[in-house]
């Protein structure tokens, strides 16, 4: 029990990002519920990728190449890991003897702990970020009797020797916890647990097994039985690592959760390796692994990291995914409505929706809204965009929708273009605002500033990850996601920042959110939409929809919590444009539309057909939604006007 409390305290400590292990954080350690904590990825993969031959003893590099090991630890910490494992996975006497290093167990393990601790201390000094050191132990690499020659007593002694070396340093220098991982046999695992308890009875212990695609250890033990046994043996956390990829690990931990209440760990391989020009390469992308990080959290996993094939890029992507999810828990809790102690004397009521903006007035009155999207330029000259806005204003378009660095590209800020359009043209704008690039401090500053210069319509977005854009190595922030952002805007509308401090009045924003009726996981989209509505969203704008059946199905699914919906319409310009939408952007594109675009024999005919299709869709959805947002592909503002029924500067 004391070890479990210590583990919760440690996890709360690194999760808080401040304080020191000896202090309480928002209450006593016992009160802390461990949330997801990001661990590091593979060491061997990094050594191999750095040119260290696979026949080397990677654990021995702690002694012969300490700067290399320390550098990898630093990369994982900079990527966002808050638990790093010592480079001692195979530093037991059985494995080391294969390299003639059986007498170096103590030296190699001590060096591994010191290097990890030095890296953690450096990141604390440079970035004021806290992290933990986990002493890592792997399997002995041989079978125990009766299948093999090694006795249980010999296995115990091998693990005991390694644990003693890992924990020899004084508190504050040694590891914060022990992680036994990639265990394939429960008999061997039991000896590792006994050794850890015999040598370091007060140190938190997390044990992970590896399983096959059926969810069984190599000795035939099921995931459920492994979790049951480990719980009985008194470990402090358990889970699954390595295996054949994240899907298999997710299945295993979900089954484990059904039989234990202990903290879970999930650290999968980056899929199965493929031989590419003589090298074993793991092809699972960071984005794919990041999608499973979110699934691990939903399954109740506490320790999330990577195993073979994972790199700092994978950990960085997982960190972004976890921070977006944290917006619905920790960050959202900061901006959520509180109890009666919510400084009622400072809270103000925002103006009624119909009084905040033209769009708000039209939404409140049930009028049909017409928006046209104008994308900011990639440079400092926005004269073309201003001319397009002026044309659309003359024709009677209600407002201009301005994206915020769409697809993570570097462009003029959406706020700047919105301001110039409103000042020079006089038409209202809807400002897209993403969480990708800003922490909760800059979000508040930006929004207060936007309100002060007359921007009153906000579309709250999580934002495309930088990997999609022209600066893939840029760091994403994601302090909150779109749901948390809506909470912030709603609070600012009530005249309070997230710390309950008055800002002098209501920002008066009309709050909108995005919706994607064509997403593959529609149930998750609907759940998130419900959260957005609950958070304070007042209307929604969909992604471009070509398959109107999907829009109808989405509208039906949100009937119980529906807010006014504005449908996105994109006039196609060519068959190539349609193929890009379908294949690259994964937009559902009906075969009929593809056939119509393919039948066009000239660029002019293709553009005209794209406009005709868009007009047909507008006519069909008019009775189902409260407006449309028409995109202007490649800056063709006249095409957008024609979709809305305008032609040659005159109403049709």
Binding-site members for Zn(2+) are: 242, 307-308
d(CA 478, CA 322) in angstroms, rounded, equals 9
Question: Where is 335: in which H helix or E strand?
Answer: helix 330-335
Beta-carbon neighbour count of residue 199 at 10 Å?
19
Confirm if 265 and 183 have CB atoms less than 8 A apart. Answer: no
Give the bridge partners for 207, in sequence order. Answer: 180, 238
CA proximity to 168, closest of 203, 216, 144: 203
Report the alpha-carbon distance of residue 37 to residue 432 in Å, rounded.
Answer: 31
Q: Which residues are annotated as a binding site?
A: 242, 307-308
147: tokens are: 């299948």
Tokens 């309100």 label which residue? 451
Under DSSP, the state recorded for 496 is B
Cα 271 to Cα 283: distance, rounded to the nearest angstrom? 7
Buried b (16+ CB within 10 A) or exposed e, 208-233: bbbbeeebbbebebbbbbbbbbbeeb
Tokens 């039991």 belong to 190
Taking the C-alpha atoms of residue 392 and residue 396, their distance in angstroms, rounded to an integer, is 6
CA distance 439 to 498: 12
Question: Is the separation of the CB atoms in 614 and 570 below 8 Å?
Answer: yes
Helix pair 522-535, 548-557: axis angle to 10 deg = 50
**CA–CA separation, 43 vs 63, rounded Å?**
15
Per the listing, tokens 């002995």 go with: 140
**C-alpha distances out from residue 240 to 10, 201, 215, 303, Å:** 21, 23, 10, 10
The rounded distance, in Å, linking the Cα atoms of 154 and 39 is: 31
Closest CA to 196 of 339, 439, 3, 388: 3
Buried b (16+ CB within 10 A) or exposed e, 550-579: bbeebbebbeeeebbbbbbbbbbbbbebbe
Parallel/antiparallel/unpaired status of strands 650-651 and 428-434: unpaired
Q: Where are the alpha helices (DSSP H) in 50-104?
A: 61-64, 66-79, 93-96
How far is Cα 175 from Cα 172, in angstroms, rounded to an integer? 8
Pairing of strands 37-38, 83-85: unpaired
- Could you report how far apart the first and last alpha carbons of the chain are, in Å? 76
């Amino acid at each position: 029990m004391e070890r479990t409390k210590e583990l919760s305290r440690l996890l709360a400590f690194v999760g808080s990002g401040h304080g020191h292990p000896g202090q309480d954080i928002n209450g006593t350690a016992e009160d802390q519920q461990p949330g997801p904590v990001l661990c590091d990825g593979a060491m061997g993969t990094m050594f191999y990728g750095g040119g260290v031959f696979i026949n080397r003893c990677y654990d021995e590099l702690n002694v012969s190449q300490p700067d290399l090991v320390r550098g990898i630890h630093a990369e994982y910490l900079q990527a966002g890991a808050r638990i790093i494992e010592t480079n001692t996975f195979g530093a037991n006497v059985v494995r080391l003897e294969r390299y003639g290093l059986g007498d170096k167990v103590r030296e190699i393990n001590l060096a591994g702990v010191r290097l990890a601790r030095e890296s953690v201390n450096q990141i604390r000094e440079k970035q004021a970020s806290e992290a933990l050191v986990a002493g890592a132990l792997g399997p002995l690499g041989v079978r125990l009797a009766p299948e093999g020659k090694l006795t249980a007593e010999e296995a115990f002694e091998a693990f005991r020797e390694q644990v003693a070396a890992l924990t020899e340093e004084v508190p504050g220098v040694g590891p914060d916890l022990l992680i036994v991982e990639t265990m394939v046999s429960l008999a061997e695992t039991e000896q590792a647990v006994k050794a850890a308890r015999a040598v370091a009875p007060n140190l938190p212990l997390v044990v992970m097994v590896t399983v096959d695609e059926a969810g069984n250890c190599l000795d035939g033990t099921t995931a459920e039985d492994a979790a049951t046994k480990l719980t009985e043996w008194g470990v402090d956390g358990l889970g699954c690592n390595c295996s054949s990829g994240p899907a298999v690990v997710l299945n295993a931990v979900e089954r484990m959760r059904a039989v234990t209440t202990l903290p879970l760990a999930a650290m999968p391989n980056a899929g199965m390796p493929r031989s590419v020009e003589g090298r074993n390469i793991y092809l699972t992308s960071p984005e794919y692994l990041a999608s499973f990080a979110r699934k691990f959290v939903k399954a109740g996993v506490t320790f999330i990291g990577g195993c073979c094939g994972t790199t700092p890029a994978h950990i960085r992507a997982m960190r972004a995914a976890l921070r977006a999810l944290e917006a619905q828990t920790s960050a959202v809790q900061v901006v959520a409505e509180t109890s009666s102690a919510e400084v009622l004397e400072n809270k103000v009521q925002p103006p009624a929706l119909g009084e905040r903006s033209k769009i708000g007035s039209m939404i409140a009155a049930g009028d049909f809204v017409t928006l046209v999207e104008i994308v900011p330029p990639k440079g400092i000259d926005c004269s073309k965009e201003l001319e397009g806005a002026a044309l659309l204003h003359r024709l009677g378009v209600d407002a201009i929708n301005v994206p915020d660095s769409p697809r993570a590209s570097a462009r003029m800020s959406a706020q700047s273009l919105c301001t110039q359009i409103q000042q020079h043209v006089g038409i209202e704008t809807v400002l897209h605002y993403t969480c990708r690039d800003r922490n909760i401090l800059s979000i508040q500053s930006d929004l207060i500033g936007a309100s002060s210069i007359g921007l009153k319509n906000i579309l709250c977005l999580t934002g495309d990850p930088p990997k999609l854009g022209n600066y893939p190595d840029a760091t994403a922030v994601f302090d909150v996601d779109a749901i948390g952002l809506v909470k912030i805007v709603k609070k600012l509308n009530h005249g309070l920042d997230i710390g309950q401090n008055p800002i002098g009045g209501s920002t008066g924003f009309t709050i909108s959110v995005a919706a994607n009726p064509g997403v593959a996981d529609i149930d998750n989209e609907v759940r998130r939409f419900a959260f957005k509505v609950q958070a304070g969203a007042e209307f929604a704008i969909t992604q471009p929809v070509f398959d109107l059946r999907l829009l109808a199905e989405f509208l039906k699914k949100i009937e119980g919590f529906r807010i006014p919906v504005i449908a996105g319409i994109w006039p196609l310009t060519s068959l190539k444009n349609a193929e890009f939408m379908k294949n690259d952007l994964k937009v559902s594109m009906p075969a009929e539309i593809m056939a119509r675009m393919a039948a066009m024999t000239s660029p002019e005919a293709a553009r005209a057909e794209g406009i005709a299709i868009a007009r047909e869709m507008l006519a069909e959805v008019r009775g189902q939604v409260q407006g449309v947002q028409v995109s202007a592909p490649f800056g063709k503002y006249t095409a957008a006007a024609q979709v809305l029924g305008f032609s040659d500067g005159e109403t049709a």
